[in-house]
Structures are given as structure tokens and as C-alpha cells.
Amino acid sequence: INKALQQRSEAVRNAITRYNMQAATLNPPRPQISWKEIVDYSFLSEFDLLCLLCADVHNDDWARPAHQEATVKFFKLCHT
């Protein structure tokens, strides 16, 4: 999913922009979404095993956005 998002990021960003414009016109307005939210969702969706768990893992340390960002930055540093 993450690779597909990177390859099609411009189309996804355009879709987010269009969604946010339409969401603002609804009554009541719907919440807007951001690129970061989409990437965070894709990160969690990569773990098919999570679908089989009974426990809620969204609040675990490794699932928190700050930890995800730190991990991404770490690996970017390793590959530069």
C-alpha cells in the first residue's frame, strides 16, 4: 500500500484536495483529511495480522504517529 501511495501520490493529493473542498460544503461540514492521516492509515493497514487480534493496538507505542515518524526518519538516515 505504501509503495502504491508513493507512486500515485499526486493523484491521491488531488483526491484529498477535492474531498476537503466538498466536505466543507456539506451541512454540517465533514471533517477534512490530510496526507499524513492517509499515510498513517496505510501504515496500520500493512499489518494483516492486526485484523485477527482481539486487542486494540491503536494505542500501543509502535502504532503512535510520533513513533512512526521517528522510525521513518531513522531509516531515511540509514539509507543516505
Answer yes or no: pTM beyond 0.75.
Answer: no
Q: Which domain holds residue 21?
A: 2-78
DSSP states of the chain? -HHHHHHTHHHHHHHHHHHHHHHHHSSSPPPP--HHHHHHHHHHHT-GGGGG-SS--TTSGGGSHHHHHHHHHHHHHHT-
Q: Looking at the 3D structure of the chain, how many domains does it have?
A: 1
* Structure confidence by residue, pLDDT tens digits, 21-71: 999 999 999 989 888 887 777 665 655 555 555 667 777 787 788 888 888
Cα 73 from Cα 76, distance rounded (Å): 5
